[in-house]
Amino acid sequence: MTRLSVNINKIATLRNARGGNTPDVVLAAKNAEKYGAQGITVHPRPDERHIKYSDVYELKKIVTTEFNIEGYPNKNFIDLVCKIKPDQVTLVPDPPEAITSNAGWDTKKHLIFLQEITSELKKNNIRPSIFVDTNLTNIKYAAQTGTTRIELYTEPYAANFLSDKQKAVNEFVIAANLANKFNLEINAGHDLDLQNLNFFIKNIPFIKEVSIGHALISDAIYYGFENTIQMYLKQLEI
């Protein structure tokens, strides 16, 4: 079964709006695990506008499931993750000013850079994952970086799901099948939600993990945190 990693960035965004420690990011991570999440994801950015570097250190102390840290691999980020040693680091090509991740890597253009980073992560016993779109060239060159996994950027799927869900998923199926041929494990994330998640997983049942934050935390406002996590886990059943 595909695993659910809960991205808690939005918890930190709410906390930072008022200062202090309400809501408590560490408590949110503990509760997410207690309610059934099989992983915790964070994406610290240079301006620390949501998850702070200090949060990452505190979370490392308490996360008992898989700890996944996303981010752009500048020196500060790589220094952080090599100290923390999470289970997985997802490399995302977003500039500091980006509101959210909005594209995958051009793995051909950045091949040597990504090879160096994935090698460094592996030396520290961290599983690397590279954020990519469905461009088959990017899948091919991702396989040459030495990464263990890729994460498919699913915003285009989510954007087109309501108009034609089969058409929306087709390019992801093709990309995932190619990745499989290169022995790459596959994660997925960005704008997956209670409407579109199950269809995506049914079409690509070998997805290892989905990382979901914005939609899940938003749904928790309506349905409650525990109930929402259970609803998402239900969507991952095939």
The residues that are catalytic are: 43, 70, 190
How far is 217 from 148, CA to CA, in rounded Å? 28
SS3 labels along 157-198: HHHHCCCCHHHHHHHHHHHHHHHHHCCCEEEEECCCCCCCHH
For residue 22, the SS3 value is coil
Q: What's the gap between Cα 203 and its chain centre?
A: 19
Cα separation of 223 and 38, whole Å?
Answer: 20
CA distances for 105 relative to 68, 180, 181, 184, 197, angstroms: 18, 18, 20, 16, 23
Distance CA 185, CA 209 (A): 9
- Nearest Cα neighbor of 94 from 43, 152, 39 is 43
Q: In sequence order, what DSSP letters do the residues of 72-105 get, joined into one string?
A: ---HHHHHHHHHH--SEEEE----TT-SS-----
- Nearest of 193, 195, 189 to residue 172 by alpha carbon: 189
How many CB atoms within 10 Å of residue 165? 16
